[in-house]
Structures are given as C-alpha cells and as structure tokens.
C-alpha cells in the first residue's frame, strides 16, 4: 500500500511542479513514506534523515516530510527530536501534501497533519488520474481496520475501515488498463472486509472482470472472518481472479489466536481452506505467521508447524513477535529470545522444505506467465505465473505485457526459470545456462 500511496503523493505534488527524482542531490523536497509494521521503523527514519543531512551538509536543506504510519504513530516525537524534519503527515492526510509543501517553502512552523480524513483524501485522489503505467498495478479499495488484533498498530495508524465506492474504483481501474495495466492487485489492510452500501468484494470482482483488456485480478490482504460464501463462489466463477489466496493466520494454535483477538479458530480457518479448495481445486495459499507471540508454549508452536505441514502454504512469511508501542500486546511478557529464535529456525526450515518440494514439482510443468519487464542489459524477461511466482525466460522478442505458456526448467529459492513453450525444443542449451 505504501508503494501505491507514494505514487499518489508524487502525482499530487506534480500539480505544484515537483517532479519525482531518483537523484538525492537534486531534491528540493524529500518525502519519506514509512511503514510501522516492521521492527525499528522509527530508528530507520532517523537513519534516513542522517543520510540526507550528510548529503546536504553546507548546502540549502530540502523540505523534509515524513509520511505514512510512523508519522501517524510518532509524529509529535519525531518533530521534537529531529529539527531537520519540517512536517509529518499521516496516511489519511496525504492529500494535503501540496499545502504542506507550500507552507514549508515559506518556512512556516513545523506541521503535524495526522487527522483521519480518509473520505476527504479519496475525494481528492478521485480528481487525480492514476497515471501508473505498470503491467501489474495496485489499486486501493479499502483502508483501515476495525479488528484490533492485539499486536497490530494498523487500527491506530490507518484508522477505522473505509471502503471506496464501486464507481471510484472502476474509474481508476479503467484508467490503469487504458495505460497498459494487464493485472490489478486490489489493496486494503482488510481487503475482503470491503463493503460499499450493499456491495461486497465479490461484487467488485465481478464488475472488474468485465473490463476487456484486464487479464488478471488479485487482492490482498484478507482476514479469515471476512471470507464469505459469495467470495468463495467468486473464486470459482471469476476466471480472471488468480488462484492464489494470501490468508494470514498468524498462529496454528486456537488458544493463541484468542489471545491475539483474531476472532477465529483454527478449525474455522481450515474449513475456509477446504471450502475454497472444493470450489476451486487449483487454489493455493500463502500466509503470515508470528512466531513466539507472548504466551506461546511449545505445544502452541508445534500446532503452528503442524498447520503449515497440513495446508502446505506455497509461501509462509514468518517473523519473531516484536511489540509495537501502544498495542495491548506490548504489555504482555515476551517469550525469551533464545527460544523465539530456535522456534523461528525450526518453522522456517519446515516452510522452506514445503516451498522447495512445491517448486521441484513445477519442473517440466507449464505455467501461464504475464511478463512485466525486460531485465536490464539482458535478453531476458521477468514475469509472474498465476501463483505470483517470479519467472524469468530468455527472449529476443519483446514479451512485456504478454501472457505466454512457459515450460519451467529450473528454479532457485525465489525464481523459476523457463522457456516459451513454442521455443522449448529449439533451445537445448537453456538448462546449462540456467544451471550456471
Ligand atoms: S486484521 Fe490485520 S490490519 Fe486489522 S488489526 Fe488484525 S492484523 Fe491488523
């Protein structure tokens, strides 16, 4: 979502003639869009500011704006602690970026803009064409969260749930497709909680599917409690909806899920998986896991390991629990770090073996790959298969934006290597090349 927001911030600032640059030396205004999910997010802000300070030593400093969830959560502290910062701007206030830049140009007081103005924000953004021209583009349909999992800062930094109207979303989707996007990834902190008037995510998927030149649809990130029957049916009926669902579970222990305030049990989670598989036999799953959540016993941890063995997630994203200031879980006693590290190691070993087995089975299978870009200085193209796996092939012809049937020949931990099916017999050397 931060990538989507950063693009929107840049597009807004263009209206007052600020153009995005990759060269820090020519920066007049430096916007650092932050994420508070990962550990040490605030430290990273200070570190980054240090880098800018060094670059502009003995020169006129650029305007420094900290945006995003760290700004929301710790704005006042940031402004007090680091005088180099001119403004902090929360994720629901970034539509005010131009006003803030103009005020900062005039060297006004430090600005703290961290109100939850989400309706105003989308009203502003709707006036702005989404000029992204990527093959695969993000589109925010929903923001915020009302679930209040005990470990999570999102309800405090992004605010309550808000869904955009169907018309706004369709308009933006058409803009993206008109500019060449073939895939749209619908975004929301709780994307499947999407509801606008009586419309739910399943309705939106059906409408998006009607866009002729749109080839693929994905959505992320979901909560198990919002996987409704109509959404399960959409997985069967929407041909453009890709057969991979990222469905965070966080723990394999119902007791821990209760402590986390996740609001569902493991039985319920497994039932959803079964129902989805019944309706869409080719569907696969990925998930997020918090290892060593406060109170996690050996038995709870083993249940998490059992769960990944049972579901065989093709990707498991796992982290040791780390507390976020202000969340209820931050007052709980942590599992000792040695145990936590051991558990993470065991978990990741099992998860990696599952992933390796899955990838091994893909060798010599045929995948449909949407190619996104050429690899710099090489006759190779990068794309993704239906399961969001990265795939690289050699080609002298431009493949960008095309979907090709690819025979998978090799893999490493993160990438599959293949050849265009029609060229399979021609290029005998490909195996040695990829092996090298
Ligand atoms: S559902 Fe997701 S975003 Fe909402 S509080 Fe829980 S972890 Fe955070």
State which of 189, 246, 329 you would mutate to test the pocket of ligand 1, scoring each by most atoms of that ligand within 8 A of its C-beta.
189
Q: What is the pLDDT of residue 125?
A: 77
Give strand pairing partners of 403: 370
Contact 123, 164 (CB under 8 A): no
State which of 140, 152, 220, 258 you would mutate to test the pocket of ligand 1, scoring each by most atoms of that ligand within 8 A of its C-beta.
152
Nearest 5°: the CA angle 31, 21, 375 is 115
Nearest 5°: the CA angle 316, 32, 102 is 150
Q: What is the pLDDT of residue 107?
A: 76
Q: CA 141 → CA 14, 118, 338, 358, distances in Å?
A: 23, 12, 41, 32
Which backbone phi and psi does 280 adopt, to 5 degrees? -135, 85
Residue 25 is given by DSSP the state G
Provide the 10 A C-beta neighbour count for residue 364: 10
Q: What pTM was estimated for this model as a whole?
A: 0.88
Q: What is the pLDDT of residue 112?
A: 82
Atom of ligand 1 nearest to the CA of 146: 4
Say how far apart CA 100 and CA 71 lie, in whole Å.
14
Nearest protein CA to atom 8 of ligand 1, as residue: 152
Nearest protein CA to atom 6 of ligand 1, as residue: 149
Q: How far is the CA of 253 from the centre of ligand 1 (A)?
A: 18
Q: What is the pLDDT of residue 413?
A: 84
Q: How far is the CA of 191 from the centre of ligand 1 (A)?
A: 11
Contact 243, 386 (CB under 8 A): yes
Q: Could you please report the per-residue DSSP string of 287-325?
A: EEEEES-TT--HHHHHHHHHHHHHH--SEEEEEE----T
Q: Could you please report the per-residue DSSP string of 365-415?
A: -EEEEEEEEEPTTSSEEEEE-TT--EEEEE-SS--TT-EEEEEEEEE-SSE
The candidate with the shortest Cα–Cα distance to 412, out of 350, 359, 334, is 359
Say how far apart CA 10 and CA 8 lie, in whole Å.
5
Name the helix (H) or strand (E) containing 174: helix 166-178
Atom of ligand 1 nearest to the CA of 145: 4
Atom of ligand 1 nearest to the CA of 148: 5
Cis ω for the linkage preceding 221 (within 30 of 0)? yes
Q: How far is the CA of 223 from the centre of ligand 1 (A)?
A: 8
Residues flanking ligand 1, CB < 6 Å: 145, 147-149, 152, 154-155, 189-190, 223
Q: How far is the CA of 150 from the centre of ligand 1 (A)?
A: 9
Tell me the pLDDT of the chain (436 aa) as tens digits.
Answer: 888 899 989 999 999 999 999 899 999 999 999 988 766 788 889 999 999 999 999 899 999 999 998 888 888 889 999 999 999 999 888 889 999 999 998 876 788 877 777 777 777 777 777 777 799 999 999 999 999 999 998 999 888 999 999 999 999 999 999 999 999 999 999 999 999 999 999 999 999 999 999 999 999 999 999 999 999 999 999 999 999 999 999 999 999 999 999 999 999 999 999 999 999 999 999 999 999 999 999 999 999 999 999 999 999 999 999 988 889 999 999 999 999 999 999 999 999 999 999 999 999 999 999 999 999 999 999 999 999 999 999 999 999 999 999 999 999 988 999 999 865 445 455 444 544 4
CA atoms 188, 191, 197, 202: torsion sign? positive
Q: How far is the CA of 248 from the centre of ligand 1 (A)?
A: 10
Q: How far is the CA of 290 from the centre of ligand 1 (A)?
A: 13
Say how far apart CA 318 and CA 314 lie, in whole Å.
13
State which of 1, 36, 37, 145 you would mutate to test the pocket of ligand 1, scoring each by most atoms of that ligand within 8 A of its C-beta.
145
Atom of ligand 1 nearest to the CA of 158: 3
Say how far apart CA 148 and CA 305 lie, in whole Å.
25
State which of 155, 157, 162, 192 you would mutate to test the pocket of ligand 1, scoring each by most atoms of that ligand within 8 A of its C-beta.
155
Contact 388, 355 (CB under 8 A): no
Q: How far is the CA of 148 from the centre of ligand 1 (A)?
A: 6
Say how far apart CA 245 and CA 273 lie, in whole Å.
10
Atom of ligand 1 nearest to the CA of 152: 8
Q: How far is the CA of 147 from the centre of ligand 1 (A)?
A: 6
Q: What is the pLDDT of residue 429?
A: 52
Buried b / exposed e over 408-426, threshold 16 CB at 10 Å, is bbbbeeeebbbbbeebbee
Contact 102, 113 (CB under 8 A): no
Q: What is the pLDDT of residue 284?
A: 98
Q: Which two tokens stand for residue 54?
A: 């060094």
């Amino acid at each position: 979502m931060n990538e989507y927001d950063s693009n929107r911030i840049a597009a807004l600032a263009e209206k007052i003639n600020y153009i995005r640059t990759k060269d820090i030396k020519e920066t007049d205004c430096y916007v650092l869009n932050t994420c508070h999910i990962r550990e040490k997010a605030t430290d990273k802000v200070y570190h980054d500011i240090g880098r800018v300070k060094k670059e502009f030593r003995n020169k006129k400093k650029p305007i420094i704006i900290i945006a995003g969830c760290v700004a929301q959560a710790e704005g006042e502290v940031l402004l007090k602690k680091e005088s180099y910062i001119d403004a902090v701007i929360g994720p629901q206030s970034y539509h005010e970026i131009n006003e803030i830049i103009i005020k900062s140009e005039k060297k006004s007081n430090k600005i703290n803009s961290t109100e939850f103005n989400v309706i105003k924000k989308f009203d502003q953004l709707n006036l702005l064409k989404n000029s992204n021209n990527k093959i695969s583009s993000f589109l925010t349909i929903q923001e915020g969260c009302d679930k209040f999992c005990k470990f999570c800062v999102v309800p405090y930094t992004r605010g309550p749930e808000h869904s955009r109207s169907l018309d706004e979303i369709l308009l933006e989707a058409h803009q993206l497709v008109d500019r060449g996007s073939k895939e749209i990834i619908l975004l929301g902190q709780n994307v499947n909680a999407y509801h606008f008037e009586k419309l739910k995510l399943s309705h939106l998927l059906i409408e998006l599917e009607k866009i002729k030149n749109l080839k693929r649809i994905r959505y992320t990130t979901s909560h198990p409690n919002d996987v409704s029957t109509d959404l399960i049916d959409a997985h069967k009926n929407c041909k453009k909806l890709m057969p991979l669902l990222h469905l965070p579970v966080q723990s394999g222990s119902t007791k821990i899920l209760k402590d986390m305030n996740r609001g569902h049990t493991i039985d319920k989670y497994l039932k959803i998986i079964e129902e989805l598989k019944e309706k869409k036999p080719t569907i696969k799953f990925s998930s997020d896991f918090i290892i060593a959540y406060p109170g996690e016993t050996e038995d709870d941890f083993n249940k998490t390991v059992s769960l990944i063995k049972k579901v065989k997630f093709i990707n498991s994203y796992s982290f040791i629990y780390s507390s976020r200031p202000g969340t209820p879980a931050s007052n709980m006693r942590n599992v000792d770090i040695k145990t936590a590290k051991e558990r993470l190691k065991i978990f990741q070993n099992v998860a990696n073996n599952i992933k390796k087995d899955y990838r091994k089975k893909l060798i010599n299978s045929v995948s449909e790959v949407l190619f996104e870009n050429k690899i710099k200085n090489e006759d190779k193209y990068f794309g993704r298969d239906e399961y969001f796996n990265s795939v690289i092939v050699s080609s002298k012809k431009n493949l960008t934006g095309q979907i090709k049937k690819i025979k998978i020949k090799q893999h490493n931990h993160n990438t599959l290597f293949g050849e265009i099916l029609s060229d399979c017999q021609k290029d005998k050397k490909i195996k040695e090349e990829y092996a090298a």
